[in-house]
Amino acid sequence: MPTGQIRKALSGFYYVYDNGKVIQCRGRGIFRNRGESPLVGDFVDYTVEGNNDGTITVIHERKNNLVRPPIANIDQAILVFSIKEPDFNTILLDRFLVVLESFHVEPIICLTKSDLMDEKLETQIREYMKDYEKIGYQLFMTYKDDPAFDEKITPLLEGNTTVLAGQSGVGKSTLLNTILPSLDLKTGVISNALGRGKHTTRHVELIEVCGGLLADTPGFSSFEFDLMEKEELYRCFPEFVVKQNDCKFRECMHVKEPKCAVKEAVDSGEIKAYRYKHYLQFLEEIMDRKPRY
């Protein structure tokens, strides 16, 4: 039975790529009965009926899958955040980072609109960059028509399956148009009233580019913690994980416990206070969440 990868899902059809061919498939009814659904990025077995119509029969085991957007087997996410218009937002960035860590997707932080920085803002942004690089995250800065963009982006995409994420209006569509001009996405005009862009992508699709696969996805502008338990949260802060074994209590939540190595590192400045503040906010959000039944 042939095997391929779902590269696009649209209107109930799955487009399976197999050695240069694309086969239009539907899913077996048994998937619906089990409450399963094929996702873009899935490796699947399929049967062919006629010239180019097929049925997906088996979904291979996934290494990960995102719920919103529905996509599987992702290696990394490029988080696109603007430096200005809208302003750089660490709490939103940390929200994205935490959820990606929970799904075992490697984040790469792309800061756009660097041409809009003045000297004061550049100093502030470079301090933030140092903070996140110290934690272990990879970052790069760019702007529209950046002549060095190709050499920045190509090594990141090669050999990887990558998604773009970030708040609306930060330049995701401009970035995609730069990477793959044939997409010709409509770049939104930022609404002054909302501070957000208006561009909306209508379906999930993986596109071959720079020796890898790249997805732009709908609904990928915010993340919720609805699948995360409070005990998992600290594991999504890499600098907390490093300190965890030095806490007095094995299951330390880093809030009110005595002899907490994480809180001591915050007090000494080794862990940034704004990161710890965001941790407490996210923890409260998870604990206030209505239970799932």
Percent of the chain with pLDDT over 90: 58
Give the tokens for residue 196.
């957000």
- Using alpha carbons, list the distances in angstroms from residue 250 to 169, 187, 258: 43, 49, 12
Give the tokens for residue 163.
């998604």
List CB contacts of 3: < 8 A, sequence separation 6 or more.
18, 43, 44, 45, 46, 60
Decide if pLDDT at 260 tops 90.
Answer: yes
Do residues 113 and 86 make contact, with C-beta atoms less than 8 angstroms apart? Answer: no
The residue that leads in pLDDT, 268 or 211, is: 268
Q: What's the rounded Cα separation, in Å, for the pair 253 and 263?
A: 10
pLDDT of residue 89: 92
Instruction: Say which amino acid occupies 67.
Output: V
DSSP 108-159: EEEEE-GGG--HHHHHHHHHHHHHHHHHT-EEEE--TT-TTHHHHHHHHHTT
> Dihedral (C-alpha) 264, 268, 273, 276: value to the nearest 10 degrees?
-20
Do residues 43 and 14 make contact, with C-beta atoms less than 8 angstroms apart? Answer: no
pLDDT of residue 30: 77
The residue that leads in pLDDT, 275 or 185, is: 275
Measured from the Cβ of residue 19, the count of other Cβ atoms closer than 10 Å reads 7
Decide if pLDDT at 200 tops 50.
Answer: no
Decide if pLDDT at 282 tops 70.
Answer: yes
Do residues 112 and 143 make contact, with C-beta atoms less than 8 angstroms apart? Answer: yes
- Using alpha carbons, list the distances in angstroms from residue 249 to 175, 233, 241: 46, 16, 14
**Phi (first) and psi of residue 265, to 5 degrees:** -70, -30
Q: What is the pLDDT of residues 52-90, one digit of tens each?
A: 789 999 999 999 988 777 899 999 999 988 899 889 999
Query: Strands 138-141 and 21-27, how do they pair?
Result: unpaired
- Please compute the mean of the pLDDT values over residues 101-120 and round it to a whole number: 93
Q: What's the rounded Cα separation, in Å, for the pair 154 and 214?
A: 11
Q: What's the rounded Cα separation, in Å, for the pair 204 and 110?
A: 21
List CB contacts of 241: < 8 A, sequence separation 6 or more.
234, 235
Do residues 232 and 102 make contact, with C-beta atoms less than 8 angstroms apart? Answer: yes
Q: What is the pLDDT of residues 139-178, one digit of tens each?
A: 999 988 888 888 898 899 999 999 888 766 666 677 776 6
